[in-house]
Amino acid sequence: MSDIVKYEQKGAVAVITINRPDSMNAFTTQLSADLQLELEKAHNDDSVRVVVLTGEGRCFSAGADLKSGLEGRSVYGKLQFEYRPVFAAVAAMPKPVIAAVAGSAAGIGMSLALQCDLLIMADSAFLLSPFATISLVADGGLNWQLVRQLGYRRAYALSIESERIDAKRCVELGLANKAVPAEELQKSAIDWANDLSRRAPLSLAASKKAMRYAMDNDWASSFDFEADLQQTLVGCEDNLEGVKAFFDKRTPKFKGKQGS
């Protein structure tokens, strides 16, 4: 394991930091591999309930490291076998993943930020899809993200015009949840994560699974999917604890374990 991805646990929150500040946290083969390992670590650690993904220094990620080239791999191979496993790990994580974006998230960095479940930005930060300026197409699932979140026409315009989407507009468009002063970004992200970590872990995991399913499926199958998830949760220890705490007028103590 190199030091280009840092992993730190703060209580129930795992903070994963892309640590190539001199290269604006641009993606390399090693960075992709290390991100996968650290996401897997957070996934498998029951003491971790929320993950914050961020970048060291002045930006989240400038995208692919063009200086390093393809490192012996085709573009197709890089997308499928390096980037895709990172994105899949975020989606499969049974815990909320919060992207904390300082400076900018561009190219594959923008794709990664939008792949996260929640997004908080510094008020001076922006998202950028620069592909049209170098005769490429947005990748890393970015087209899927933008069309579903913005609709076709708005997504297409933002992509081909390669405009900087500032934090305020990201919030207005629904691409980001919050924009905060730059100097408060990391604290705000961790405070948010800590708040979420006190909520029912099984509920957070099921809600994430249900909503990601709903993005690709119709109402009827989504209804069925919710019903199946609800059946697995009702009567479990955390469900009983939550109901009891409600009537006792106290804060529930969730364990995050399936079964009654």
Residue 216 domain flag? yes
Residue 206, domain extent = 201-248
Read off the pLDDT of each residue in 175-201 and give the average, rounded to a whole number. 97
Residue 171 domain flag? yes
Do 100 and 21 fall into the same domain?
yes
Q: For strands 165-166 and 126-128, give the pairing.
A: antiparallel
The answer, yes or no, to whether residue 5 has pLDDT greater than 80, is yes
Q: Which of 182, 197, 212 is the last residue of a domain?
A: 197
Read off the pLDDT of each residue in 124-130 and give the average, rounded to a whole number. 97
Band the pLDDT of 67: cuts 50, 70, 90: confident
Do 74 and 133 fall into the same domain?
yes
Band the pLDDT of 3: cuts 50, 70, 90: very high
Read off the pLDDT of each residue in 182-204 and give the average, rounded to a whole number. 97
Do 126 and 172 fall into the same domain?
yes
Nearest to 100 by CA among 20, 193, 11, 199: 193
Residue 239 domain flag? yes
Do 172 and 218 fall into the same domain?
no
Do 111 and 166 fall into the same domain?
yes
Band the pLDDT of 14: cuts 50, 70, 90: very high
Between CA 17 and CA 212, with CA 50 as vertex, the angle to 5 degrees is 100
Do 80 and 208 fall into the same domain?
no
Read off the pLDDT of each residue in 100-120 and give the average, rounded to a whole number. 98
Residue 254 domain flag? no
Do 31 and 145 fall into the same domain?
yes
Specify the pLDDT at position 260: 43
Specify the pLDDT at position 2: 74
Cβ(83)–Cβ(33) under 8 Å? no
Cβ(179)–Cβ(167) under 8 Å? yes
Percentage of the chain modeled with pLDDT above 90: 93
Cβ(165)–Cβ(179) under 8 Å? no
* CATH code where residue 215 lies: 1.10.12
Give the torsion sign (CA, 230, 232, 237, 240): positive
Residue 170 domain flag? yes
Residue 136 domain flag? yes
Residue 133 domain flag? yes
| Residue with token string 């006792």 | 248
The answer, yes or no, to whether residue 111 has pLDDT greater than 90, is yes
Specify the pLDDT at position 25: 97
Residue 256 domain flag? no
Rounded to the nearest 5°, which phi and psi values hold at 182?
-55, -40
Cα 209 to Cα 53, 183, 204: the distances in Å are 19, 33, 9
Do 208 and 151 fall into the same domain?
no
Do 186 and 216 fall into the same domain?
no
Band the pLDDT of 259: cuts 50, 70, 90: low
Query: CB under 8 Å to 124, separation ≥6 — which residues?
Result: 103, 167, 182
Average pLDDT, the chain: 95
The answer, yes or no, to whether residue 94 has pLDDT greater than 60, is yes
Read off the pLDDT of each residue in 153-172 and give the average, rounded to a whole number. 96
**Gap between the Cα atoms of 32 and 85, Å rounded:** 8
Read off the pLDDT of each residue in 221-245 and give the average, rounded to a whole number. 97
User: DSSP string covering the chain, please?
Assistant: --SSEEEEEETTEEEEEE--GGGTT-B-HHHHHHHHHHHHHHHH-TT--EEEEEESTT-SB-SB-GGGTTTTS-HHHHIIIIIHHHHHHHHH-SS-EEEEE-SEEETHHHHHHHHSSEEEEETT-EEE--GGGGT----TTHHHHHHHHH-HHHHHHHHHHT--EEHHHHHHHTS-SEEE-GGGHHHHHHHHHHHHHTS-HHHHHHHHHHHHHHTTS-HHHHHHHHHHHHHHHTTSHHHHHHHHHHHHTS----------
The model carries a pTM of 0.95
pLDDT in tens, 71-87: 668 999 999 999 999 99
* CATH code where residue 190 lies: 3.90.226.10
- State how many domains the chain has: 2
Q: Which of 158, 181, 197 is the last residue of a domain?
A: 197
Do 122 and 26 fall into the same domain?
yes
Do 113 and 161 fall into the same domain?
yes
Do 30 and 137 fall into the same domain?
yes
